[in-house]
Chain A
Amino acid sequence: MARRAWYWLLALPFIALLDVPLYDRIDPRWNGIPFFYWYQLAWVVLTAALLGIVYLATRERAR
């Protein structure tokens, strides 16, 4: 895949976190934590993972 194509993966956190009505709800809870909170915390981890993937996928050709 071309480098630019991988970069599109980084649009996902923007969509997932800026569309607030998507996650502005209480249920389902996780460990008693309302959805609103654990969803956003989960996206912190997912964003880090996406950045790691894009970094590894584009590293060679970046040199």
Chain B
Amino acid sequence: MSVTASVFVALVLVASALGFTAARRNGGDLRALNEWALGGRRFGTILSWFLLGGDLYTAYTFIALPALVYGVGALGFFAVPYATIAYPIVFLLLARFWSIAHERGYMTAGDFVRGRYRSRSLELAIAATGVLAALPYIALQIVGMKAVLAQLGGIFAIGGGAMPLAVAFTLLAAYTYIGGLRAPATIAVFKDILIYLTIAAAIVVIPHALGGWHAIFTAADRALASPLHPFPLLVAPQMQFAYATLALGSAFSLFLYPHAITSLLSARSADVVRRNAALLPLYSILLGIIALLGFAALAAGIHAPPNEIVPILFARFFPPWFAGLADATIVIGALVPASIMALGAANLFLRNVVSPLSGRAPSRDAGSTKWLTLAFCALSLILVLFMNVKFAIYFQLLGGAWVLQTAPAIFFGLGERSLPARALLAGWLAGMIAATSFALVDGFSPNIALHVGSWTLVGFIAIYAVAINLGVALVAAALLRVRSPQGEIA
């Protein structure tokens, strides 16, 4: 095995070992769902920071974001404002969500909706949306791993990396099964040390080797410019609204995903959540630097599938052992969120999809959730190994637009007065249909052009769909009030 591959395998094994030992630390009876799935809700500021960082800033982000910038230029940078304005939202809204969930013992968004609106159909709608959005997200983590394996070559790339992916996912499923949320939380600490190390080295070495940032941007500008897009380092005027709506829509949907809610609710207090809102932007700086690596790849004259440019950059500018470290960082960076996503989706599915359909109360026991987590891991692996990667990407994009349709029920529910469940359900349905048809009509482009007279506004489909969602919900609420003046919900 080459030096790169040896370092890579060693580090992935260390991370897995950490995952397996996590169960023994921190006490708690792991047979209880609250302990297994939420770490007993005892994570302090620092562990929460690592966990949320490992959960939200995934390997796919680190592969796909530079790939996007490499492909389209400035528009791909929208992830930076997105990952910035998400935090005032966490501070103001999600800290309150934590408090309500803690007080009432809610473990998922579905629990919150059931408790807040006393409507099992709304609970079912919100939970099913979350599960559907989570599955392609797990699949994309595997896509990120595949990009690294392809670059490593040799035995790692045989059959599109099917064998090593299956090994990695078996390890992932096993330690998640044993340790629950504690496993990814422990690995996240290790992973983040590697990430900060890798990025610190990249930001010093790569610009230096390419003659500085000015030279990088000039070369990237030349490589990307086309008659259709003469200024690729800037967002074209007709795309500025799309840029803003992509950032805003993504920021609001980030914490509606089941894996984000799982990590959020494992925090010890609302204060831990607020403190993390101020500390997590540190990862967004990394995110911005990583995005700029897309321009560095252009300047370095790399011609490759966009998803492979980051591993190629590291292989080109660093000694083999460090390239192995960077590759391991990406793969471990995929294993952490994949574990939390499978766990969060399984918990949501059993508590808020199966339970309302079967009419039985959700179990306090971790047993069935553990098995379903394994099943979700396997399902995502199959999705990636046997289906087109494009399908996973489209499905994930659609999932992002879908998950934002749960925003009105959750965020209005934080206040003293909300809309009636039936109105929110009507809005959700309208929003889901709108999001799906926008995506289908425009060949799964994230943006769609809205024509008002001679005026055209290109914007993020999720934002247009949620506007329809809100409109329908408000009209339905008004109609319900006319019919029953007392109102159903105080």
Contact = CB atoms under 8 A, between A and B. Distances in A.
Please indicate which of the listed interface residues B234, B240, B281 has the most CB atoms of chain A within 10 Å of its own CB. Answer: B281
Contact of B281 (A10, A29, A45): A45
Contacts, number: 107
Contacts of B382: none
A13 B91 contact: no
Contacts of A24: 74, 234-235, 237, 240
Interface residues of B, number: 39
Given A44-B285, A55-B274, A36 B74 contact: yes
A18 B459 CA distance: 13
B217 interface: yes
Given A47-B85, A52-B278, A10 B91 contact: yes
Nearest to B270: A62
A20 B217 contact: no
Nearest to B80: A40
A33 B213 CA distance: 6
Interface stretch (B12-20, B143-151, B243-251): B243-251
Contacts of B85: 13-14, 17-18, 47
A26 B92 contact: no
Contacts of B215: 32
B71 interface: no
B285 to A, nearest CB: 5
Contacts of A7: 92
29 contacts: A7-B92, A11-B88, A13-B84, A17-B244, A17-B247, A21-B240, A24-B74, A24-B237, A32-B215, A33-B217, A33-B292, A34-B233, A34-B234, A36-B234, A40-B80, A40-B84, A40-B288, A44-B84, A44-B288, A47-B87, A47-B281, A48-B279, A48-B281, A51-B87, A51-B274, A52-B278, A55-B91, A55-B275, A55-B278
Given A34-B217, A48-B279, 8 more contacts: A31-B213, A32-B213, A36-B235, A40-B81, A40-B288, A41-B285, A44-B80, A51-B91
Interface of B: 74, 77, 80-81, 83-85, 87-88, 91-92, 212-217, 233-235, 237, 240-241, 243-244, 247-248, 271, 274-275, 277-279, 281-282, 284-285, 288, 292
